[in-house]
Structure formats: C-alpha cells, structure tokens
Amino acid sequence: MNRREALRHTALVAGAAALWASLPSRTWAALAAPTGWDAAEETLLTLIGDTIIPSTATSPGAGAVAIGRFILTQTHDCFPPEARATLRRGLSDITASSQQRFGTNFSVLDRAQRERVLTEYEAQSVAAPHPLRHIKELTVLGYFTAETGATQALRYDPIPGAFRGSVKLTPGERSWAL
C-alpha cells in the first residue's frame, strides 16, 4: 500500500471517501491569465521567480510551477490595485538594470548574470514598497504551496497521524511544508 493508498484508506475509515474522491488537481498554468499583462511580461516574471528559486539536484525551480501566472493572479486578486504598479515598476527596473549592466535583456542573460541583477536590485534603496520584496514573497508562497515545491523541495505530510515533540534533525533534512 503506497502513501496515497494509505491516506485514502484512513479517509475511508473516517467516512471521508467522497471528499477524497472529489479532490481537484489544479495547476496555475490551467487558470486564466489576468488581463492587462502580455505573455512576455508573464514569461519575464517566471524567469525572475525561477532565478530566485532555481532548479537544483533534488527539486525543480519556480519556473516549473508557472510562477509568473501565480504572481500575476495573486497580485490581481489578493492585493490592493497599487500592487500592480509596484509589479510593473519591478519589471521595468529589472529590465533597465539588465541593459545597464550587461547591455541586453534579462531574458537572454545566463543564470549567474540574472542572479547578479536581482541581488543588486534587492540591495538598492528604491521607493517603497520594494518591488523585489513583492515578487519574492509571491514566489516563495507560490512555489512552496505548489505540489512540486511542497513535496519535492520540502517534506509534505498532509495527515501526520501524530505529533512527536522531539525528533532528531539529521543534516540535510528539510522543513515541513505545512
């Protein structure tokens, strides 16, 4: 019995089979794009998010969870309208920084150059709220609450079964997703 089977069994015992069966599996890429943003802007955001949280040996990066679409949707749905302007300011600042430092667009820089641009931008004192703070907040939220981030970059245990107060942490062990 694998993990999913075990959980299904537990839910079944509790009479929650109907709920379990009804679980949707949605991804951000499947959601409609917020209006007012073109595909290039969304792609740029995804690349910024993937630079903040890149693919590593153990788990894919934020680009693998359609992070640009998530940042746009979340900004539109959950933040005051001013956040859209902050986001646009961030994209334009990052584009300008790329041009200024490397003479080309962010999207054609290699990873080290992209990290350089974002690191320098993060350290710059710009008008508050700092756009990179907004982008980073949503990148972190979107990635670690996506199935990929929660289950591969972290440890995801939706039904722990018990609380153990003292567990030895071995080197390299990851945080809980929940």
Partner 1 sequence: MANSPTSPGAREHTFDAIVIGSGISGGWAAKELCESGLRTLVLERGRDVKHRDDYPTALKNPWDLPHRGKLPRDIVTANPIAKKCYAFDEATSHFFVKDAEHPYEQEKPYDWIRGYQVGGKSLIWARQTQRWSRFDFEGPARDGFGEWPISYDELAPWYSHVERFAGISGNYDGLETLPDGEFLPAWEMNDVEKHAQAKIMGAFADRHVIQGRCAHLTAPKPQHLAQGRGKCQARNLCYRGCPFGAYFSSNSATLPAAAATGNLTLRPHSVVESILYDDATGRASGVRVIDAVTKQTTEFFARIVFVNAACLNTNLILLNSRSARFPAGLGNDHGLLGHHIAFHNYRGSLSGSIEGFEDSYYSGRRPTQLMMPNFRNVRKQETDFQRGYMVFFGAGRAGWQSGASTPGVGAAFKERITRPGPWGISMMMQGETVPRKENHVRLSTAQKDVWGIPQLVTSIGYHDNDERLLKDFFARGQEMLEAVGAKKIVTRDSKQNPGLDIHEMGGVRMGRDSKASLLNRWNQLHACSNVFVTDGACMTSTGTQNPSLTFMALTARAAQHAVAELKKGNL
Give me the residues that bind partner 1 (CB under 8 A), please. 10-11, 13-16, 18-20, 23-27, 31, 51-54, 56, 61, 73-74, 77-80, 111, 115, 118-119, 122-123, 133, 136-137, 140-142, 144-147, 150, 153-154, 157-169, 173-178
Amino acid in position 42:
E
CB of 10 to partner 1, least distance (A): 7
Closer residue to partner 1 (CB): 4 or 127: 4
H/E stretch holding 48: helix 39-52
**Whose Cβ is closer to partner 1: residue 16's or residue 108's?**
16
Q: In the complex with partner 1, which residue's Cβ is closer, 23 or 128?
A: 23
29: exposed, middle or buried (C-beta count within 10 Å: 0-12, 13-18, 19+)?
A: exposed
Q: Please report how close the Cβ of residue 39 comes to partner 1 at its closest, in angstroms.
A: 22
Q: Are 57 and 124 in contact (CB under 8 A)?
A: no
The full length of the chain comes to 178
Query: Could you tell me the two tokens for 166?
Result: 């003292």
